[in-house]
Amino acid sequence: MNKNNNNHKLILDLHHIYKNYDGVKALTDAHFDLRKGEVHALVGENGAGKTTLIKIIMGVIMADSGVIKLDGKPVHIRNPQSAQKFGIAAIYQEPMVFPDLNVAENIFISHADRGSIVHWRKTFQDAEEVLSKLDVNLNVRMPARGLTLAAQQTVEIAKAISLNARILIMDEPTSSLSAHEVKQLFKIVRSLRDSGVSILFIGHRLEEVMEIADRITVFRDGRWISSKPRNEVTIEGVIHDMVGRNVKEFFAKDKTERGDLLMSVRNLYKENVFEGINFDVYRGEVLGFAGLIGSGRTDVGLALFGIGHTDSGHIIFEGNKLKINSPQQALKHGIAYSTEDRRKLGLIMPMPICSNITLPLLQRYLNSLGLIKQRSEEETAESFRKQLDIHTSSIQAMVEELSGGNQQKVMISKWLNADPKLLILDEPTRGIDVATKAEVHNMINDLASQGVAIILISSDLPEVLAMSDRILVMREGNQMGIFNQVEAEEEIIMAVALGQNQTIQENVQ
């Protein structure tokens, strides 16, 4: 298994790749190469640029600049079809199968060379042949709808093989698979590698990466950090490369007096989503929630706000046991939640700033006839505009006209207007510029000093570290531990979030 791949020739070679999205740097001078018959893993935090790189290789997006070489010759990959022609295929986390078509057809539907009439018997035979090459037993007549995720992935692998793919990109293929299914998948991956296919493997579970990869490349903040043969790296080394930041470009949390206990959460559990969630949060405290995307942080936040039921566990708020069944109830008790997805869930884009801010508490703005008192609405909006420095020509401007950072401020205003005792902020600084980011951090400090308890959910690890008094780390729906700011270091938190630490330093105060 552990072959020396150094003699193998380069198949794919990417150099000096740059990509900006609306001024945000997704990739900066990135490098990546792939040799014949190797499994080359690409790892990095959320936002490190892995997905952008794949999209460029697959022709979904074009790089702003940079060179892509296939077999030593520069190529342009304009769209997914041209990637297919070059022999590149990708398997995504969520397989892209056609649920109503059967397995055999899913394998061959992208083949343009099979004529316009489908010869079903031959299609079934050919599909069985491809699957048996992969050592897979699967009923080719069954609709793809009825397959497990793992089985759908094998159908996609079979499709790639039948298209003579030489390069197979696997984007977090194991994230929803059981241990047994992962074992099966790796067996297939190894036999593909041994038959000369080159595999770009993206994974979050580092043990898996160590098990399957021949080489490991780390990206951080859109830059290439390191590429090393597997036998020359350790998990600790990889984690160090993933987080190793030198610059502290973040606002630090002010020292604030921790107030009285506000809320205790005990054994909160929701089937298949999260379990064993236990924490206390105090007035004037910022409790950070760290973990990878999909680790259940947002689900816990939503549950505290009364969206989606929990199966067991309880919440004690200001000394009383609470059952929160709806956001209205949560708001009544003083719990507010600002979503991570402001476009879809947070704001009504084609509506004025003013109306967006007063929407959750519209009862307050009704006169005796039940009509809206626009004057008092405007007063509220105007005061938030000053308080949070929302840059706009008028509070009657549509939210969609604002920049991301100002939209974020409108969304926060909307919840501050409810005078929350507990404010849950989900990714409050994602996709906004540095200056506004600092303003948001400032605002968090202000609120904490006024005695508001804050739960800060963020994928931005340095932000969580700088802004939180304590940090709760989640992984795959489980609470892995709570750390004090003093003892929390990026590498420790990342190791815990990735499930790499052996001893969890539980610290319940």
Partner 1 sequence: MKKILAHFNPEQIRESFLVLLILVFVLFFSTQIPDYFNPRFINRISTSVAVIGILAVGQTLVFLTRNFDLSIGSITGVTAYLVGQQLWYHPGIPPILSVVLAIGIGMLMGAINGVLVAYGKVPSIITTIGTLAIYRTFLVEYSHAVPITTNLLPDWIVNLNQVALFSFHGFEFRVLFGILLLVSIIFQFILRYHRFGRLLYAIGSNPSASQIAGFPDRRIVFQAFLISGGLAGLAGFMYLVRFGNIMVLAGIGLEFSSIAAVVVGGVSNMGGSGTIIGAFLGSLFIDILQNSLYRSLAVSEFWRDAILGMLILLAVAIDYLVIGHLRKKWARTGFQLKSEETSNVK
CB of 130 to partner 1, least distance (A): 13
CB of 449 to partner 1, least distance (A): 47
If binding is defined by CB under 8 A, does position 175 make contact with partner 1? no
Measuring CA to CA, how many Å separate 375 from each of 134, 135, 415, 468? 70, 71, 20, 38
Structure tokens, 346: 């947070």
Report the residue from 65, 67, 100, 372 that binds partner 1 according to the rule CB under 8 A.
100
If binding is defined by CB under 8 A, does position 21 make contact with partner 1? no
The answer to whether 84 and 161 have CB atoms below 8 angstroms apart is no
Measuring CA to CA, how many Å separate 187 from each of 70, 129, 142, 468? 27, 18, 23, 43
Number of residues counted as binding partner 1 (CB under 8 A): 39
The answer to whether 30 and 53 have CB atoms below 8 angstroms apart is yes
Measuring CA to CA, how many Å separate 24 from each of 28, 295, 416, 431, 439? 10, 25, 29, 8, 19
CB of 180 to partner 1, least distance (A): 7
CB of 179 to partner 1, least distance (A): 12
CA dihedral sign, ordered 399, 400, 401, 405:
positive
If binding is defined by CB under 8 A, does position 195 make contact with partner 1? no
**How far apart are alpha carbons 119 and 484 in whole angstroms?**
65
Give residue 499's identity as a one-letter amino acid code: G
Give the x/- contact pattern for partner 1 in 138-167, rule: CB under 8 A: xx--xx-xxxx-xx--x-------------
If binding is defined by CB under 8 A, does position 66 make contact with partner 1? no
If binding is defined by CB under 8 A, does position 505 make contact with partner 1? no
CB of 309 to partner 1, least distance (A): 21
Residues 6+ apart with CB under 8 A from 385: 353, 392, 395
Site for partner 1 in 122-141 (CB under 8 A): 132, 135-139
Give the x/- contact pattern for partner 1 in 280-319, rule: CB under 8 A: ----------------------------------------
Q: Nearer Cβ to partner 1, position 184 or 355?
A: 184
CB of 184 to partner 1, least distance (A): 6
Report the residue from 12, 70, 97, 303 that binds partner 1 according to the rule CB under 8 A.
97
Structure tokens, 49: 């640029």
* DSSP characters over 62-101: --SEEEEEETTEE----SHHHHHHTTEEEE-SS----TTS
Report the residue from 80, 237, 327, 404 that binds partner 1 according to the rule CB under 8 A.
80
Binding footprint of partner 1 on the chain (CB under 8 A): 60, 79-81, 84, 96-101, 105, 109-110, 115-118, 120, 132, 135-139, 142-143, 145-148, 150-151, 154, 180-181, 184, 187-188
